[in-house]
Structure 1
Amino acid sequence: MLSDRQIKILEAIISDFIDTAQPVGSRTISKKYPLGISSATIRNEMADLEELGYLLQPHTSAGRIPSDLGYRLYVDSLVYENSISSRDKEIIQSLLLNKIIEAGDIAKQTVKLLTDFTHLVAVVSIPKFNKCKLANLKLIKVSDSKVLLILVTDTGIVKNIQLALSNTEQFVLDKISDTMVSHLSGETIENIDVRSISKMKEKLSMFGNIVDYLIPILRDALKSLNGTELYVDGVSNLLSTFEFSDTEKARHIFDFLKNDNQLVELFDSLPSDKLSIKIGTEIGVELLDDCSIVASSYHVDGNNAGRILVLGPKRMDYGAIVSTVNYISNTLSDVFSGIYL
């Protein structure tokens, strides 16, 4: 257990390091923070905090910087979520509720908002297609040999699948589309199987050959649309931070952020039902040992649907970022659940 004095010193060191990115010495603490103790006493306490694992000394003659353990104590016990101003709330709502229909457009706007507010990297996943409900379906004749199948979910995700289908009139496609919608609308995509699709055949007996062709295609298409879609923005912001001024180090992180499979693994490793803060080695990815992430889930009708994540140096303003992530995730939950639509 740390003493109250040690906790105040640790908090002062972390606050100063977040502001300056420079190792913090005892004289700096005694001058800038009214702790009521001498520089020598602060120096002795800093040595004890280093021995306990809360501080690191990068060079013998330098001051101290927080360790991952120090940041963890700071985040868990000393950081308080900031309140978002009414003006910022209005900005977020106006941009997320500005007649955006497709989920992808909402995600693009969300990552831009997050990078504008935090000046860090933002990643947003949109609801998995197969977990959503089918809201509409349309077959459109593109040419004499091609038809476009358009699937729309209740969360605004739109998928287009090109089919090879010759010599079929649009009125036939309309009849098939209307019948399929009446039978499948409101079902989650993952629950639409061959059996449920086959029930439509008796209603479309006059188009039996076409329906027989469409059923396996629709089944395979639905199976293939179960991946997580990710949107990333603000990667260049890393270059403006002291920790990643080394372009080689930044390049490796850039490569990681461009790899959807690695990002999905990172998302899947986080708790899906609450705000999560991972610091340095806690992330479990060696490339990100100098980073921290703040992540949260958003929901559709009470069910976990996607996540938002902010990534940056461990020396980030946790209170401000947590409040931004929380507010935006709550707003996304409302948007995707149709509260504002």
Structure 2
Amino acid sequence: MQLGKRKLQILQAVIDDYICSGEPVGSRTIAKKYGMGISPATIRNEMSDLEEMGYLHQPHTSAGRIPSDKAYRLYVDKLMKIRMLTAAEAEYIKKIYEQRTAEIEKVIEQVARILSDITNYTSVVLGPQLNKVLIKRIELIPVDRQYALLLVVTSAGIIKDTIIRIPADVDSGYLNRVSNMLTVHYRNKTFAEVDINSIQDVQKEMTRQKEFFNSLVDALTESIAQKEQTEVYLGGTTNIFNFPEYRDIRKAKAFLSLMEQKDLLYSLLSKFDKKGVTVVIGTENECEQMKECSIVMTTYSIGDKVLGTMGLIGPTRMEYSKAVSVVRYVGETVSKYLTSLFEE
């Protein structure tokens, strides 16, 4: 059985209506509201075919139909029209630029709030993955005559600060020269791209300071060996209860339990690290607790380096056209903001 033009029109009408109302959709509703010029009986026959094809199902014998996950997938891929943001929404998103901070954590907290405020869904933003942040500079700052502070400054802020012992004959000028060489060598690289053994120019500079050089290499190695950050920022966790589907105690408990498992959320969402918007619908989710939810995700980056993931979680009847539009715009805005900070 083929999905002809009329079936597609009816399916789109059912999905649009169900997203708005949350109530099963009948043939008379479609006939009255969508002006297709065909009778309720014809629409009913087409809906029956769509049910047989797996795009609709009937929760009760006397009820109308509701879309399946298969229908939502077709809708997202081929039928929906991306909704334009309103001027007020675009302006609200641009509040990201008001942060005036180089600390990504503060930016991300604001992003989580903005996403949930605009859409009324639950937002999830993952902190930057350590193996994806970019090194901005490396500094050796004298503390006193015996010790210096090693700072590895990245696009996510100061990742590591370590105290190392310095020889008695090393002055601030020498530390500054070494800092500059390290920065030139590693700037714009991720931790994963760093090869400690490649700093031959630094090694030559420190030929007479072999013990100090070894201490420096050990400190840098320790910085690079740190585990990835697993920060997860949530916004509007209780927004899910605005939807009738989650007035069911079982579903509500499952959702709240999932929101508390930040390691699980991080593991699930960090897999989606490609640019662009990704939509995962209901049963497409690997996690059992997510199979009645949909996720709309994108990444944020500095230049062409992806740092992390952000997205919205809602019921499978979420307003995908708005969610995709908002997530895409916020992702682009955050990336531009962080890129401008880093380039400074």
SS in 2 for 1:265: helix
What whole-Å deviation, never above 9, does each CA across 1:88-143 have from its counterpart, x for those lacking one?
22322232353121111121111111111111121223443333332234566889
User: Per-residue deviation at 1:27?
Assistant: 2.5
User: Per-residue deviation at 1:203?
Assistant: 3.8
Tell me the residue number matched to 1:59.
60
Tell me the residue number matched to 2:218.
216
Alpha-carbon distance in structure 2 between the residues aligned to 1:112 and 1:45: 42
Matches within 5 A, 1:128-167: 128-138=129-139, 149-153=150-154, 155-161=155-161, 163=163
What whole-Å deviation, never above 9, does each CA across 1:204-256 have from its counterpart, x for those lacking one?
56765455334313202211154454322222212222222223322323333
TM-score by length of structure 2 reads: 0.84
Report if the CA contact (8 A) 1:30-1:42 is conserved: yes
Tell me the residue number matched to 1:116.
117
Distance 1:225 1:96, change over 3 A: farther
Alpha-carbon distance in structure 2 between the residues aligned to 1:135 and 1:65: 52
Q: Write the letter of the residue equivalent to 1:52.
A: M
Of the structure 1 ranges 310-319 and 283-292, higher mean CA displacement relative to structure 2 is found in 283-292
TM-score by length of structure 1 reads: 0.85
Tell me the residue number matched to 2:182.
183
Of the structure 1 ranges 285-294 and 295-304, higher mean CA displacement relative to structure 2 is found in 295-304
SS in 2 for 1:131: coil
Alpha-carbon distance in structure 1 between the residues aligned to 2:201 and 2:253: 53
User: Per-residue deviation at 1:304?
Assistant: 2.9
Matches within 5 A, 1:29-68: 29-68=30-69
Distance 1:172 1:87, change over 3 A: farther
What whole-Å deviation, never above 9, does each CA across 1:285-333 have from its counterpart, x for those lacking one?
2211111111122332223332222111111111111111111111122
Q: Which segments of 5 or more consecutive residues in structure 1 lack a partner in the other structure? A: none
What whole-Å deviation, never above 9, does each CA across 1:268-296 have from its counterpart, x for those lacking one?
44361332111111122221111111112
Alpha-carbon distance in structure 1 between the residues aligned to 2:256 and 2:181: 46
Distance 1:311 1:148, change over 3 A: farther
Matches within 5 A, 1:1-341: 1-138=2-139, 149-153=150-154, 155-161=155-161, 163=163, 176=175, 179-185=178-184, 186=187, 188=189, 189-196=191-198, 199-200=201-202, 203-204=205-206, 209-227=211-229, 229-270=231-272, 272-338=274-340
Aligned length: 338
% identical aligned pairs: 33
Q: Which segments of 5 or more consecutive residues in structure 2 lack a partner in the other structure? A: none
Q: Write the letter of the residue equivalent to 1:6.
A: K
